[in-house]
């Protein structure tokens, strides 16, 4: 492997919330600018019906929020391993397979890399979570095979995968001056992935590192799940979640669950869904909240609301409380959000994350005291309660924060150079 020449392959971090593309070049940053000079491209696309065009990333979110008529799709990676992947969505009255939607976004990443490099790429290392699907090896394999098939369909002839936390480890290793036993904690938009790995500067250029990887693990929990729980616990009650029918039975929750989940928001706009909601309007005790729900759906404001909740989650990482204004839906409507309530909402998820880390250490035969460093990466790794849970579990380990959006892409670029020259 010559270190004097640029890599022949791209490293692609296709993330649930954000994506990056890495291209290894000697003495230069690996991550490439994808949009407005930024290294991240939000994993979103918008079919703009008025302008008859397809846009990606920040521009997709901007045009949606500007009120253009169209179809927004976000958190595309969450489709992998879900039943939706085999179905279709409607764009301008035509059925478009979700696999094709994935292909459109991956094509954008590939073309961005090629435009910057001034050359085509036929080889790539793509990051993947340790598990696309928890406790279902067949579904997990199907998700990986689907991603592989989509990548080849858009023009990559040779594609391989690397676990995302392993890629982040190789990025961190490039900064070390001595050996460390490191727990990589990668909390992304859709999954939490962990690797326990021995890192050392003298082994950084080795192609074969299997003996250094002591254990890998993960759970299908990420930032979008934190968003969902914050939404259901603190915001959706304003729109009837938890309400009772006049019979005393709980109100059906499918509409609220769809609104709280990024990749199912569009389902609430379907005629059948709206008819079902209308049919129970006069059987619900709290008509005020259900009428708010109708207003939200009428305005097609589901993605707008999800964005407000996502931003509130981020704000609560640095603040104890905030006021979330919902006056777009109704005058003077809003809700007070607190970090304490948010922590309570995600507590069950954090216990599963902590349990996965404990299982990882057990699997590797490593005690908590032996771990030198915890390396945090991923856009959702900054949640204070998450970090506290890890700190309580590994009290002797120092905490290092990587580039929360870029460590995986940089590591994949390194891996692409090792595998393909």
Go through the domains of the chain in sequence order and give each one's CATH number.
10-177+402-420 (3.30.420.40), 224-343 (no CATH)
For 129-147, how does the pLDDT look when each residue is reduced to its tens digit (9 = 90+)?
988 888 788 888 999 999 9
Dist. CA 314–CA 235, nearest whole Å: 16
Question: What confidence category does residue 3 fall into, taking pLDDT thresholds of 50, 70 and 90?
Answer: low
For 310-369, how does the pLDDT look when each residue is reduced to its tens digit (9 = 90+)?
999 999 999 999 999 999 999 999 999 999 999 999 999 999 999 999 999 999 999 999
When pLDDT is averaged across residues 93-107 and rounded to a whole number, the result is: 91
Note the pLDDT of residue 401.
87
48 CB contacts (<8 Å, ≥6 apart)?
54, 55, 63, 68, 69, 70
Question: Three-state DSSP class for 16?
Answer: coil
Q: HEC states along 214-272?
A: EEEEEECCCHHHHHHHHHHHHHHHHHCCCCEECCCCECCCHHHHHHCCHHHHHHHHCHH
Note the pLDDT of residue 399.
92
For 44-71, how does the pLDDT look when each residue is reduced to its tens digit (9 = 90+)?
999 999 999 999 999 999 999 888 999 9
């Amino acid at each position: 492997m010559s270190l004097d020449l640029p890599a022949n392959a791209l490293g692609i971090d296709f993330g649930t919330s954000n994506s990056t593309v890495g291209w290894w070049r000697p003495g230069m940053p690996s991550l490439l600018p994808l949009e407005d000079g930024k290294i991240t491209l939000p994993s979103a696309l918008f079919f703009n019906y008025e302008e008859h065009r397809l846009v990606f990333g920040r521009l997709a979110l901007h045009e949606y929020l500007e009120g253009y008529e169209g179809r927004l799709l976000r958190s595309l990676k969450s489709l992998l391993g879900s039943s939706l992947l085999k179905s279709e969505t409607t764009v301008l009255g035509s059925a478009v397979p979700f696999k094709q939607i994935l292909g459109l976004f991956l094509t954008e990443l590939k073309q961005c890399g090629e435009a910057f490099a001034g050359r085509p790429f036929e080889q790539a290392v793509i990051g993947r979570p340790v598990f696309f699907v928890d406790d279902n090896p067949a579904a997990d394999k199907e998700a990986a095979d689907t991603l592989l098939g989509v990548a080849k369909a858009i023009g990559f002839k040779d594609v391989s995968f690397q676990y995302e936390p392993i890629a982040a480890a190789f990025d961190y290793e490039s900064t070390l001056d001595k050996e460390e036993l490191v727990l990589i904690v990668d909390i992304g938009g859709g999954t939490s992935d962990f690797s326990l790995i021995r890192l050392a500067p003298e082994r950084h250029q080795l192609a074969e590192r299997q003996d250094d990887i002591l254990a890998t693990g993960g759970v299908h929990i990420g930032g979008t799940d934190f968003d969902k729980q914050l939404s259901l616990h603190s915001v959706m009650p304003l729109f009837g979640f938890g309400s009772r029918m006049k019979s005393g039975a709980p109100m059906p929750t499918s509409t609220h669950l769809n609104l709280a989940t990024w990749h199912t928001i569009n389902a609430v706009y379907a005629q059948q869904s709206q008819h079902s909601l209308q049919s129970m309007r006069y059987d619900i005790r709290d008509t005020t909240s259900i009428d708010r729900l109708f207003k939200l759906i009428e305005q097609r404001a589901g993605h707008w609301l999800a964005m407000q909740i996502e931003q509130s989650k981020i704000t609560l990482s640095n603040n104890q409380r905030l006021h979330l204004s919902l006056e777009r839906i109704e005058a003077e409507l809003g809700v007070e959000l607190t970090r304490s309530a948010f922590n309570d909402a995600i507590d069950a998820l954090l216990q599963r994350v902590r349990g996965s880390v404990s299982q990882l250490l057990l699997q590797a035969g490593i005690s908590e005291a032996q771990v030198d460093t915890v390396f945090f990466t991923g856009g959702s790794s900054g949640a204070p309660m998450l970090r506290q849970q890890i700190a309580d579990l590994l009290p002797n380990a120092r905490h290092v924060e990587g580039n929360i959006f870029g460590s995986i892409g940089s590591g994949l670029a390194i891996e692409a150079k090792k595998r393909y020259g």
